[in-house]
């Protein structure tokens, strides 16, 4: 497995951190691009990108969104439309940096929403979309789960867990999740208008016991997108299926992509 790290210059002072994994037996040219969750980073994907690259025979690329991980601190607070604008801002910079034309995009949690917006915006270039534990709308379950997490992180020492991956940006990362999603302005947010523009094949993965979204969430992706779609509810798992049952998730992704015969 070949790994490579790089930084993408956004401005004179802002950079995105990017990492790629290329299997020695590269069987397909179209890469998979990963989008992390609300508290996530490249490092928090752990072994999953390397395993995904090995199993699919594809290059896998992951990046820290601005404000997260090893990317620069974000000087702004998140707007209500931050999920959709990722497609036309920093994701676009990643495509340009690697000179990528066609791609497969996969996102976890809010990253799944962002991946869907990428598929909607680049209809002719996105060859497959994979969402995992993604939210398409705001539910009471989502808000209660976030409220519980917010309270937990107020306990002594809990923020240090985030500092391990985000350094001094940790409080911003936490607030970008909790304060944005719990704000009154966000209560009517949904992906519906973007999902209607998704025509690429779709694999929707969701944990049966996900604490941030009911099974109405994956169904929303199924109901509103236009392409061939496949839904997989992972019994007994919560919000991190790729960490709770990694072999099963990798196998499902491999089977899905093999069925599409993508270059």
CA distances from 199 to 101, 117, 124, 126, 236 (A): 17, 11, 9, 9, 30
180: alpha, beta or left? (left if phi > 0; alpha if psi -120 to 50): alpha
Yes or no: say if 225 and 195 are a contact pair by the CB < 8 Å rule: yes
Q: Which domain holds residue 222?
A: 2-257
Residue 263 lies in a domain: no
User: Which residues, in sequence order, are CB contacts of 241 under 8 Å at separation 6+?
Assistant: 132, 133, 205, 206, 207, 234, 248, 249
Average pLDDT on 27-49 reads 97
CATH number at residue 95: 3.40.50.1820
Q: Does residue 261 register a pLDDT over 90?
A: no
**The Cα angle at residue 104 between residues 102 and 109, in degrees rounded to 5:** 140
Count of domains forming the chain: 1
Position 163 pLDDT exceeds 90: yes
- The mean per-residue pLDDT over the stretch 185-209 comes to 97
Going by pLDDT thresholds of 50, 70 and 90, the confidence category of residue 153 is: very high
Q: Judge whether 240 lies within some domain.
A: yes
> Per-residue pLDDT averaged across 160-185, rounded?
96
Task: Tell me if 117 is assigned to some domain.
Answer: yes
Which of 209, 142, 232, 131 lies closest to 181, judged by CA? 142
Whole-structure pTM over 0.85, yes or no?
A: yes
Residue 256 corresponds to which tokens in the numbers above?
């899905």
Residue 29 lies in a domain: yes
Question: What does the pLDDT read at residue 201?
Answer: 98
168: pLDDT strictly greater than 90: yes
């Amino acid at each position: 497995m070949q790994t490579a790290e790089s930084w993408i210059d956004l401005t004179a002072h802002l950079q995105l951190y990017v990492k790629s994994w290329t299997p020695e037996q590269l069987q397909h040219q179209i890469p998979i691009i990963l989008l992390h969750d609300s508290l996530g980073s490249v490092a928090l994907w752990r072994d999953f990108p390397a395993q995904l690259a090995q199993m699919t025979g594809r290059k896998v690329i992951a990046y820290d969104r601005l404000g997260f991980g090893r990317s620069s601190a974000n000087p702004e607070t998140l707007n209500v439309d931050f999920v959709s604008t990722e497609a036309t801002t920093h994701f676009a910079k990643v495509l340009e940096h690697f000179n990528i034309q066609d791609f497969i995009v996969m996102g976890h949690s809010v990253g799944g929403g962002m991946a869907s917006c990428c598929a909607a915006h680049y209809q002719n270039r996105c060859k497959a979309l994979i969402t995992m534990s993604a939210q398409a709308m705001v539910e009471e379950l989502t808000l209660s789960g976030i409220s519980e997490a917010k309270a937990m992180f107020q306990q002594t020492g809990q923020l240090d867990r985030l500092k391990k991956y985000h350094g001094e940006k940790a409080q911003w990362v936490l607030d970008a999740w909790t304060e944005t999603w719990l704000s009154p302005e966000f209560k009517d947010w949904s992906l519906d208008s973007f999902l209607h523009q998704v025509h690429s094949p779709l694999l929707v993965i969701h944990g049966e016991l996900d604490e941030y979204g009911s099974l109405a969430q994956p169904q929303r992706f199924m109901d509103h997108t236009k392409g061939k779609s496949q839904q997989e509810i992972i019994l007994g798992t919560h919000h991190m299926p790729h960490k709770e049952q990694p072999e099963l998730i990798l196998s499902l992704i491999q089977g899905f992509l093999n069925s599409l015969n993508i270059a």
